[in-house]
Amino acid sequence: MLAEPHSGLGDHRLQPLLHDLISTVMAPTSALSGADGQIRPAGVQGLFHADTRALSQATLLVDGREPEAIGYAPAGPGRSRFTSLARWLGDRMPDPTVRIDRMREIGPTGMSESLEITSTASMTVTATVSIELACDFAPINLVKSGADTETQDAVRSGPGQLSWRSGRIRVVATGAGASVVDDSRLVWQITLAPRSRVILFWDTMVEDPDAVVAAPPGELEWSVPGVTAADRRLSRMLDQALDDLASLRLTEADAPEDTFLGAGVPWFLTLFGRDSLWAASMMLPLGTDLAAGTLRTLARRQGTRLDPETGEAPGKIMHELRREEFVEPAHNKRLPAAYYGTIDATPLWISLLHDAWRWGLAETEVEALLPNLEAALGWLRDHADPDGDGFLEYIDSSGHGLANQGWKDSGDSIRFRHGGTAEPPIALVEVQGYAYQAARQGASLLEAFGRPGAEEWREYAAALAERFRATFWVDGPHGRFPALALDHDKRPVDALTSNIGHLLGTGLLSEEETAQVAALLASPAMAEGFGLRTMSAEEGGYSTLSYHCGSIWPHDTAIVIAGLAREGFGDQAAVLAEGLLAAAESFEYRLPELYAGDSRESVIQPVPYPAACRPQAWSAAAAVTIAHAAVGIYPDVPAGRVTLRPMSGAPLGAVSVRGLRVGDTRIDVHVDHDGKASATGLPVGMSLS
């Protein structure tokens, strides 16, 4: 049962901080603890399963005292090791003689831990070891709000076993060989002979028949490449990223055959249209199976009717899926369990289908999704432009949904140069690029599979490009650039932001316009931090620790790196890639959702954004994007050709990536110190250019 929330700040509750917590994940389950491994009854610490906190406390005590932490290390997907000392035990000497290694392993339905207690003492050691447990069944949105919660009473359900129940959710904690004390502790009495050890085991299992997401039953949907680079940070970053991505795999509970990536831990470990699509797109160089699963999952939930409460519309791709409403009273937010409040997921779905086809997705799988493609294109034509001005735009008509519905979805993210906030409806700059690209790519798919309408969509794209060129471009202190958006009065929102980088590679810009955008993105005001700032440091709304107005998001930087590299601006792409590699090193190669946009002259390592999720799917997938851009392989399987265009000016030196996939074929690509690329293992019949 939840307690009445209160705090010392009156009605203003603060979202719990995340930056100093350790996440151990195997979706849909995750554990967040201190760096010492302790799960304390505070903030967002806990064991979570599918949007519900299963344990709110799991604290290790030895003789009633907390051991002294000395180390933490990840140990692979879903595994973490925490090392601590019990210095009051054993020999009385400067060197510690009693060590505790706490190995945590997360599975899809719970958590298990082994406690290895080792003594190098010359005397026999006796101790009482206990795990203090509590459960509050708090929904993730309540935890996010910072509200207080109340723990549930446990019952003894077997030897060394405690259980809790809320509705149809049941949590069972079992200590092998433990006794239960005070209905809240698993307790062991241990005796260690000189130079010996003991291993204790306990686990927690969660029964949750109403969860909407589950763990995939099969093997990984992508290849695990081998990377050799002169800059070893790339391989380290990629290794950690692939471990994290493996731990974020999900399916719908009633459709286990299709895998997608949960967006991030802890707030977003579920299906997110935009996030899951971008992550699947970044993973295409490693295979098309993840893309196919993501496309099919979202196609099953494609909109069929108009509903202002959920944001649903015919042909529209959804934003997020939850067990129940996601409510944040402090922000007047009440999102339905299946919510469609996104302006960009639908064109991104079209582009992923097209790009997966180019990377070798089987024609039968593409053809099965063509009705969904036609419905998505229909949404572009019939519902994405409610005022008929020729641009895609959004407004939350429910009054309790997301005020901003692009990837920068915080309430203050759309700002003018002087710092003022734009009023909806909003037509975002990058979304026009997505729509232009989706229309052209949709036309290519329709034509290739003998469907009508290709010419209509090419005409749509051409007209959009003409309108965009006439309306969006504004003058700034360093030249002309596309505005961030148009506001409700059709005024250009004239702040310089990273959004314009998403236009690169869409085809919406001319060569001259592309060069101007590339130069601005590589300018110090945008790129002097550890990646690409979301907003120029010269804008009135800029703040290094703003969620979307000056911070750095790895996925955003990676999207721009990919666009710059593909357009031939390798030097600019290399500057941003080096920034992400430096940031990754500071974050132990697990890039967070975002971090502060401070200049590298003012800080020697990036400052964490305190509420950033980690791991985050598209942040992890950014490592794949950098490796892909470095070697520059661009296949077109239907046309029978592969293009190699490595990123010039890369800080990586020579790079080899082994185990990329084009269709069902393994490809190895090597780029030497002079930037010359070669590939081996091309599919039979494919030409190289």
Dump pLDDT digits (tens) for 5-54: 333 344 467 899 999 999 999 999 999 999 999 999 999 999 999 999 99
Confidence category of residue 2, pLDDT binned at 50, 70, 90: very low
Residue 291 has pLDDT above 60, yes or no: yes
22-211 and 214-671, same CATH topology:
no
- pLDDT tens digits along 469-510: 999 999 999 999 999 999 999 999 999 999 999 999 999 999
Residue 415 has what pLDDT? 98
Taking the CA atoms of residue 632, residue 635, residue 639 and residue 645 in that order, the dihedral angle to the nearest 10 degrees is 0
Query: How far is it between the farthest Cα atoms of the chain?
Result: 85
Chain-centroid distance of CA 569 in Å reads 26
pLDDT in tens, 600-646: 999 999 999 999 999 999 999 999 999 999 999 999 999 999 999 99
The number of beta carbons lying within 10 Å of the beta carbon of residue 527 is 23
Q: What is the CATH number of domain 22-211?
A: 2.70.98.10
Task: Give residue-wise pLDDT tens across range 134-171.
Answer: 999 999 999 999 999 999 999 998 999 999 999 999 99
Specify the length of the chain in residues. 689
Torsion of CA 204, 208, 212, 213, to 10 degrees: 30
Q: CA–CA separation, 194 vs 128, rounded Å?
A: 17
Q: What are phi and psi of 373, to 5 degrees?
A: -60, -45
Residue 650 has what pLDDT? Answer: 56
Residue with tokens 């399916």: 251
Structure tokens at 624: 């794949």
Count of beta carbons in the 10 Å neighbourhood of residue 4: 7
Rounded to whole angstroms, the Cα distance separating 471 from 86 reads: 68
pLDDT in tens, 565-602: 999 999 999 999 999 999 999 999 999 999 999 999 99
Structure tokens, 297: 């999952």
Report CA 534 to chain centroid distance, whole Å: 17
- Return d(Cα 102, Cα 190) in angstroms, integer: 16
DSSP 8-state secondary structure symbol assigned to residue 318: P
Query: Pick from 12, 15, 332, 23: which is nearest to 142 by CA?
Result: 15
What is the distance, to the nearest Å, from the Cα of residue 188 to the centroid of all Cα atoms in its chain?
39
214-671 topology per CATH: Glycosyltransferase (1.50.10)
Q: What is the pLDDT of residues 441-460, one digit of tens each?
A: 999 999 999 999 999 999 99
Q: pTM for this one?
A: 0.96
Q: Which helix (H) or strand (E) holds 447?
A: helix 429-448
- Determine whether 215 is exposed, middle or buried from the number of CB atoms within 10 Å of its CB (0-12, 13-18, 19+): middle
Which pLDDT band holds residue 563 (cuts at 50, 70, 90)?
very high
Residue appearing with tokens 């070798």 = 360
Q: 304: which residues sit within 8 A by CB, 6+ positions away?
A: 312, 314
Question: Omega of the bond prior to 225 within 30 degrees of 0, cis?
Answer: no
- The band of 689, judged by pLDDT with boundaries at 50, 70 and 90, is confident
Average pLDDT (174-188) is 97
Sign (positive or negative) of CA dihedral 312, 263, 45, 103: positive
Predicted confidence at residue 651, as pLDDT, reads 63
Query: Residue ranges of the domains in the chain?
Result: 22-211, 214-671
- DSSP-assigned letters across all residues of 156-211: EEETTEEEEEETTEEEEEEETT-EEETTTEEEEEEEE-TTEEEEEEEEEEEE-TT-
State the pLDDT confidence band at 301, using cuts at 50, 70 and 90: very high
User: pLDDT tens digits, residue range 359-406?
Assistant: 999 999 999 999 999 999 999 999 999 999 999 999 999 999 999 999
Q: What is the pLDDT at residue 19? A: 94
Contact residues for 9 (Cβ-Cβ < 8 A; gap 6+): none
Q: Tell me the percentage of the chain whose pLDDT exceeds 90.
A: 94
pLDDT band at 4 (very low <50, low <70, confident <90, very high): very low
| Number of neighbours of residue 159 by Cβ within 10 angstroms | 12
Mean pLDDT of the chain: 95
**Is 80 exceeded by the pLDDT of residue 3?**
no
pLDDT reported for residue 8: 39
Q: pLDDT value at position 13? A: 79
- 312 vs 309: CA distance, rounded Å: 8
Angle 390-395-397 (CA atoms, 0-180°, nearest 5)? 130
Residue 179 binned pLDDT confidence (cut-offs 50, 70, 90): very high
Q: List all residues 6 or more positions away from 602 whose beta carbon is below 8 Å from its beta carbon.
A: none
- Provide mean pLDDT across the span 409-438: 97
Place of tokens 């010419």: 455
The least confident of 249-253, 254-258, 537-541, 649-653 is 649-653
- Does the pLDDT at position 685 exceed 90? no
